[in-house]
Amino acid sequence: MRNHSWVILPLQALLLLPNVVESLLTPNGNRLVANSRSTMMTPSLQATAEDAVPEIDVEEIDEEAVAAADLEFQAAIRQLCQERNLPLQKVKNCRDLSSTQNSPILPGKLYRTGRLGDATPEDQKLLFEERGIKTLVDLRSPTELKDDPTLMADVFKGFNNLVWMEDGRGKDGCVRVLAEGESPLDKKRFRKRKKEEAATTVVAEEDTFCDAGCDDPRSQPAGDFLKNTQDGSKERHFVSLMNEFKYVRGTVSKLPKRTIAKSILKSPGAVLSKRIWNSLKKPFINEINEGGLSMLNELLLRFGAPGIKHVLELCADETRHPVAFYCTAGKDRTGSIAAIILSLCGAKPEDIVEDYSLSANVYSEMNDHQAMVGALSQRSLDPKTFLGAPPEVMAATLLSIEENYGSVEGYCNWIGFGPEQQDKLRKALLKKE
């Protein structure tokens, strides 16, 4: 087993989330350990292998001390947000990837952010004039786009809209350039379904972009599109990474076979029909709530792989810089993309974890109970589990990548973003030696 001595988490995080005990064991055995120094109380999650790491007896923990540590941790997070986030009025959680602690990425290349439709004129001036952002990558699902009244707002005036459409893992998919003023939700773009299929499907038609779009004369294979360097015009790319159906597929594979069999027996011959979905919905939600954000990230990495590859290819194209990528809150899908890029460029795991933690308060700042979490509705999710950004979530995600793919580079190879493309990304983002 590899030495993961960098996985040193804040004391309050270790104690308040019991699933950490099972998912983040240290190499010395089966007891969770934490550093006794002040690193437990701040967002700086760094520790070295030489550090003394005393065992923690959970039963002897002082709850008042834990609460005080949590308050101190949150205060430190807010301070770091003030230092690193751009001073925007309406847009939340926006920062340059170069602001990450010890980041090797050059300033002004890549930005991670929450949704941009609410940007004020002052926000727009900072983002598009002063920072010069000319490529936007929207990671949200069609359902989220449909619920966004600012989707075609004046904020995006002057941007050419493009939609990437998936064609399976290992394939590039295709890109369609939309006409001026054309919404990515134009009904003509959706895959037509037979009436009987529409009556039984779980996922709304709006939640799936056309998967036969390459037959459209205005579409072209994504690989061909990416060969054309950017000509200086501004682009907004819609790259839906996840939707409810993908989460259902991933979660159903984890459910006990007995649960699935009972549901199918109630409606033989139908695959994920509404009747089956109604039977599976409760165990699905229970599984999601139990698995938490770490499970959502695991499913994202697996089922969102084609879209992740396309986003990485856009970020590797220096002619499209500066690039800003975002989802609803700029927390989980955005955070995963940021983590992959930072890791590929040589950032330390503890610094990646810290950067993710800066998104802890974004949902409370948005104050939008309709805002979706990772393309899922908040209604059925445990807010204590899903609306924050606990450092152990990103720590678990990075460990999961290492365990399942060997490394972040191994994961990128698996999704088709190979060594040559990884080198192109680094050359576009790192300081020239």
For residues 68 and 201, membership in a common domain is answered with: no
With H, G, I as helix, E, B as strand and everything else as coil, classify residue 137. strand
Q: Which helix (H) or strand (E) holds 123?
A: helix 121-124
Helix (H, G, I), strand (E, B), or coil: what is residue 158? coil
CB contact at 8 A, 330 and 114? yes
Question: Do 157 and 242 fall into the same domain?
Answer: yes
Return the closest-CA partner of residue 9 out of 98, 69, 57: 69
Residues 204 and 222 in one domain: yes
180 with 62, same domain: the answer is no
Strands (E), 97-224: 110-113, 135-138, 159-165, 174-177, 219-221
Instruction: Check whether residue 309 and residue 391 sit in a common domain.
Output: yes
The number of angstroms, rounded, from the C-alpha of 287 to the middle of its chain's C-alpha atoms is 19
Let me know how long the chain is: 433
205 plus 98 within the same structural domain: yes
Confirm if 160 and 237 have CB atoms less than 8 A apart.
Answer: no
The structure tokens listed for 288 are 């999601």
Question: Looking at the structure, do residues 124 and 57 belong to the same domain, yes or no?
Answer: no
Q: Do the beta carbons of residue 361 and residue 78 sit within 8 Å?
A: yes
Q: What is the pLDDT along the chain (433 residues), one digit of tens a residue?
A: 445 544 444 433 433 333 333 334 333 333 233 332 233 233 343 433 334 445 555 566 677 887 787 788 888 888 999 999 999 999 999 999 999 999 999 999 999 999 999 999 999 999 999 999 999 999 999 989 999 999 999 999 999 999 999 875 457 899 999 999 899 987 554 444 444 444 434 444 444 454 445 667 778 899 888 887 667 789 999 999 988 777 777 766 665 554 544 444 444 444 445 555 555 566 666 777 777 888 888 999 999 999 999 999 999 999 999 999 999 889 989 999 999 999 999 999 999 999 999 988 876 676 555 555 554 554 566 666 677 778 899 999 999 999 999 999 999 999 999 999 999 999 999 977 5
33, 59, 84 — which closes off a domain? 84
- Indicate the number of domains in the chain: 2
Q: Are residues 113 and 161 in the same domain?
A: yes
Look up the CATH number of the domain holding residue 308: 3.90.190.10
Q: Which of 58, 84, 110 is the last residue of a domain?
A: 84
**What residue type is 332 in one-letter code?**
D
Q: What is the pTM of this model?
A: 0.77
Q: Give residue 108's domain range.
A: 89-429
Residues 197 and 50 in one domain: no
Q: What is the DSSP string of 71-91?
A: HHHHHHHHHHHHHHS---SS-
Same domain, 30 and 110: no
Q: CA-CA-CA-CA torsion for 158, 342, 171, 249, nearest 10 degrees?
A: -100
Domain boundary among 84, 117, 135: 84
